Amino acid sequence: MNIDRIANAIEADAGEEIPGLREGLAEMQAEQVGRRTTAEQLLVRSARIKLGLSQQAFAELIRTPVATIRDWEQGRDIPPGAALRLMEIALTHPDVMRDEAA
């Protein structure tokens, strides 16, 4: 893998220099695994941020303990299917969720 060629292509696509990109690519090439992020983690965090809520406020909105939200966002636990669907609704129809929060 030519790290410089790949990094240059990524940065050209992004239109800016990306700090740490070459180091990250080198770690990947050396098969050094850092933190892994799952799609479920990103979905929960994205939904919460889209609504502009803290973890505490989001937990109250969906009637779930804040520790559960933290576990989901940090990848210690995977949200059940119904919670994942709720996150998708929050992303696609945030006004519905905001109405509920008000």
pLDDT at residue 99 greater than cutoff 70: yes
The domains of the chain are located at 1-34, 39-101
Neighbour-count burial for 6-41, b at 16+ CB within 10 Å, e otherwise: ebeeeeeeeeeeeeebbeebeeeeeeeeeeeeeebb
In this predicted model, what pLDDT tens digit does every residue of 31-90 receive, in sequence order? 876 677 889 999 999 999 999 999 999 999 999 999 999 999 999 999 999 999 999 999
Task: Give residue-wise pLDDT tens across range 19-28.
Answer: 889 998 998 8
CA dihedral 55, 58, 64, 70 (to 10 degrees): -20
Domain 39-101 has CATH 3.60.9.10: no
